[in-house]
């Protein structure tokens, strides 16, 4: 009589306790992402300070109840994003914030995982203010029918579904992505993931804090119409106005502890 194969137990992550748990038939392929996010949150919150040495791969594997492979992959992710750095004879150390890849969409997302501070929100809007008006001006000069169709469709979805829906927020990202593509500049296009993450996460934050403000579709449509007409100056001005309106309430907080941001 042939023996039935033993059912393999695979460790999964318990997000409530922060510990690894074994469960039959469960995949561990994403454990490294969960561990990377957990450690990133500890670093970003200041629980782990620059220069701190993380536990060894073996120690972390044992204490968390997950495979060394998962720990190793999590360390690889954090290293690639600049949050940690392996150092000879010391181990893996937490980096100073100046070494973090602050434009990486995952890093932006981790920084928004908890309530972001005002400086982070302000910095992201300032980044957009530097990049997107210039991109809009270029888009007005270089756009083609495909770019215009993509922006027009995104506006229709935003108008129909609103930013309170996942489809509406995706359409907002799609509008900004189409605008960057219309600028026909590879370096600008490469910033799409960073700009898209900033747009999506700040919008989600505003919805969670009930500070979304007026519906931003009209302001986006003004940008589109200027680009469609080929008016570079107007496109730049409309995009700058859209972002400045979004920034306005960041620097004029109604009371301590509350950040109010209009939709953008």
pLDDT at 212: 66
Pair 203, 212: CB distance under 8 Å: yes
Sign of the Cα pseudo-torsion (157, 160, 166, 172, in order): positive
Domain ranges of the chain: 9-98, 105-251
User: From the centroid of its chain, how far is CA 54?
Assistant: 25
Q: Which residues are CB-contacts of 170 (< 8 A; sequence separation ≥ 6)?
A: 157
The enclosing H or E element of 93 equals strand 91-94
Per-residue confidence band for 15, with pLDDT thresholds at 50, 70 and 90? very low
Domain spanning 105-251: CATH superfamily:
GntR ligand-binding domain-like (1.20.120.530)
CA distances from residue 206 to 70, 111, 122, 259 in whole angstroms, order as listed: 34, 15, 13, 9
Q: Is 106 helix (H, G, I), strand (E, B) or coil?
A: helix
CA–CA dist 31, 29 (Å, integer): 6
Range from 19-33, 64-78, 84-98, 105-119 carrying the lowest mean pLDDT: 19-33
pLDDT tens for 70-85 read 999 999 999 999 999 9
Give the mean pLDDT of 127-143: 96
Question: Is the model more confident about 9 or about 225?
Answer: 225
Per-residue confidence band for 175, with pLDDT thresholds at 50, 70 and 90? very high
- 1, pLDDT greater than 60: no
Which CATH code, of 3.90.1150.10, 3.40.50.300, 1.20.120.550, 1.10.10.10, is assigned to 9-98?
Answer: 1.10.10.10
CATH topology match: 9-98 vs 105-251: no
CA distances from residue 145 to 80, 178, 230 in whole angstroms, order as listed: 38, 11, 12
Give the mean pLDDT of 45-64: 94
pLDDT at 209: 67
């Amino acid at each position: 009589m042939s023996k039935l194969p033993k059912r393999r137990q695979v460790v999964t992550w318990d997000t409530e306790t922060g510990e690894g748990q074994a469960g039959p038939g469960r995949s561990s392929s994403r454990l490294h992402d969960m561990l990377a996010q957990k450690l990133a949150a500890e670093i970003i919150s200041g629980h782990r300070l620059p220069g701190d040495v993380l536990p060894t791969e073996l120690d972390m594997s044992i204490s968390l109840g997950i495979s060394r492979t998962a720990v190793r992959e999590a360390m690889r992710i954090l290293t690639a994003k600049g949050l940690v750095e392996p150092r000879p004879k010391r181990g893996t150390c937490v980096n100073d914030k100046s070494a973090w890849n602050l434009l990486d969409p995952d890093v932006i997302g981790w920084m928004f995982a908890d309530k972001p501070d005002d400086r982070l929100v302000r910095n992201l809007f300032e980044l957009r203010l530097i990049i997107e008006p210039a991109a809009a001006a270029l888009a007005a000069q270089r756009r083609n029918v495909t770019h215009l169709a993509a922006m027009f469709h995104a506006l229709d979805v935003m108008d129909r579904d609103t930013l309170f829906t996942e489809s509406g927020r995706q359409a907002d990202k799609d509008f900004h992505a189409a605008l960057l593509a219309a600028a026909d500049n590879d370096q600008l296009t490469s910033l799409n993931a960073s700009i898209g993450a900033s747009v999506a996460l700040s919008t989600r934050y505003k919805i969670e804090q009930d500070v979304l403000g007026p519906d931003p579709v009209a302001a986006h449509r003004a940008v589109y119409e200027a680009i469609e007409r080929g008016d570079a100056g107007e496109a730049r001005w409309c995009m700058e106005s859209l972002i400045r309106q979004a920034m306005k309430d960041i620097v004029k907080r109604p009371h301590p502890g509350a950040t109010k941001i209009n939709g953008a």
